[in-house]
Amino acid sequence: MSARTIFCRFCGAAGAHRFGKDRRHRQRYQCSHCSKVFLRRTNTVKSGSHLSDRQWEMAMKLFATRAGMSAADLSRVLGINPKTAQKLNRIFRHVVQGLRPHRIPGVSEWDESTFSTQWVLGGVSRDSKQCLLECIPDRREDTMCPRVLRAAGPGGSSSPMSIWATTVSIVT
Ligand SMILES: [Zn+2]
């Protein structure tokens, strides 16, 4: 599947096709599975937002690298209304909270990556699809294993043997 594959914003099926433009000249898509018509932003955190994709991308990068940046600073950097910046911060915190349960039960898979210079350990539960992300100082075994075991909990079966390293570049 190419990176351009569009997933339906209603049923999640892959492979929606282009379906003309709306009044504001934004590309519309139609799902080949449920036939619903949507825009790229429909039913995403961006729906109803007047910010550009570029501003969203910058705001997300700033949140990822400088979590806790104040709404006042964010509004200055992006040149947006402080109220809008407050709303962005609320949205991002809400999204991240969903990613950070204390436990991911059942069978889980783990990976670790660097964001710029920060190592991040990530796990996903095969059963519940819950995710967990944690900043770690390095990728040594005795750094990662206790964390994986703690999150997997009693009876959980994690697969630390499948841990591998990747370097993610967020510089575009
Ligand atoms: Zn659909």
- The residue extents of the domains of the chain are 1-44, 46-98, 107-168
What would the DSSP string read from start to end of 84-151?
A: HHHHHHHHHHHHHHHT--S---SEEEEEEEEETTEEEEEEEETTT--EEEEEES---HHHHHHHHHHH
**Same fold flag, 1-44 and 107-168:** no
Ligand 1 centre distance from Cα of residue 134 (Å): 34
1-52 confidence digits (pLDDT tens):
445 788 888 888 888 999 999 998 989 999 999 999 999 888 887 888 888 8
Ligand 1 centre distance from Cα of residue 137 (Å): 42
Confidence of residue 105 (pLDDT cuts 50, 70, 90): low
- 10 vs 65, higher pLDDT: 10
Ligand 1 centre distance from Cα of residue 16 (Å): 8
Q: What is the mean pLDDT of the chain?
A: 74
Which CATH architecture fits 1-44? Single Sheet (2.20)
> Is the separation of the CB atoms in 21 and 28 below 8 Å?
yes
Ligand 1 centre distance from Cα of residue 139 (Å): 40
Ligand 1 centre distance from Cα of residue 45 (Å): 18
Pick the CATH number of 107-168 from 1.20.1050.10, 3.40.50.1110, 3.40.50.2300, 3.30.420.10: 3.30.420.10
CA-CA distance, 46 to 29, in Å (whole number)?
A: 16
Query: Which two tokens mark 77?
Result: 């950097």
